[in-house]
Amino acid sequence: MFEFVESIAIEASPAAVWRFLVHVETWWLPSNPEHIRLEIRPRGLPLGVGTQVLFEERVAGVKGEAEGTITAWAEERAATWEGTATYRYLGLCIRVIEGVTWRVEPRAGATQLSARVWARFPSGLWGRLTEWYAKAALDVVRRDRRHARRELEYLKAVVEADTSSLEGAV
């Protein structure tokens, strides 16, 4: 298993940050060149507990497909997605249980946006071997941290640009 938290301060209200965060269809794909496809089910409804999120991306250069569900939702504060990802590498198929919790918290004139990312590998010898390989050879934890950091920096840029354009219009 691995777990980490990446955070960033955004000069905007928690409500403004949350508004962008929950419109994942507008920011997720352009936030990272490693993102390939995103599908939200059911379409057209607000996100919440039970919403299915499917996506394809590359992490540490390895293509993966993930399917999961939003399992926790605290309006304007936090949302958790958990699911199963299948990564294909050198002809091998590796299934990982993974998740992310996005948290929005007020901080002295700004908002802290954080992503707590975790992954569990299969049990048994195969799981231990794939976990070791992913961590040691692919450097997946450091590379996944960088992946999450890129998403946070993108959100910071778009939220702050939107907020400053609104302030300029007033």
Give percent of the chain with pLDDT exceeding 70: 96
Which of 62, 88, 68, 64 minimizes the C-alpha distance to 24? 68
In the chain, the amino acid numbered 103 is R
Q: Which range marks the domain in which residue 102 is found? A: 2-169
For residue 167, what pLDDT is reported?
56
The predicted-structure confidence for 68-87, as pLDDT tens digits, reads as follows 999 999 999 999 999 999 98
Residues 96-128 have pLDDT tens digits of 999 999 999 999 889 999 999 999 999 999 899
Tally of residues, the chain? 170
Distance separating alpha carbons of residues 51 and 8, to the nearest angstrom: 26
Q: 3-class DSSP state for residue 40?
A: strand
* Look-up of token digits 């059911």: 42
Q: 160 and 166 in contact (C-beta within 8 Å)?
A: no
**CATH (domain of 74):** 3.30.530.20
Cα distance between residue 68 and residue 85, in whole Å: 8
CA–CA separation, 70 vs 80, rounded Å?
A: 6
Residue ranges of E strands in 11-150: 35-41, 52-59, 62-74, 78-89, 92-107, 110-120
Q: What is the pLDDT of residues 37-59, one digit of tens each?
A: 999 999 988 999 999 999 999 98
How many domains, in total, are found in the chain?
Answer: 1
Q: Is the pLDDT of residue 170 over 50?
A: no
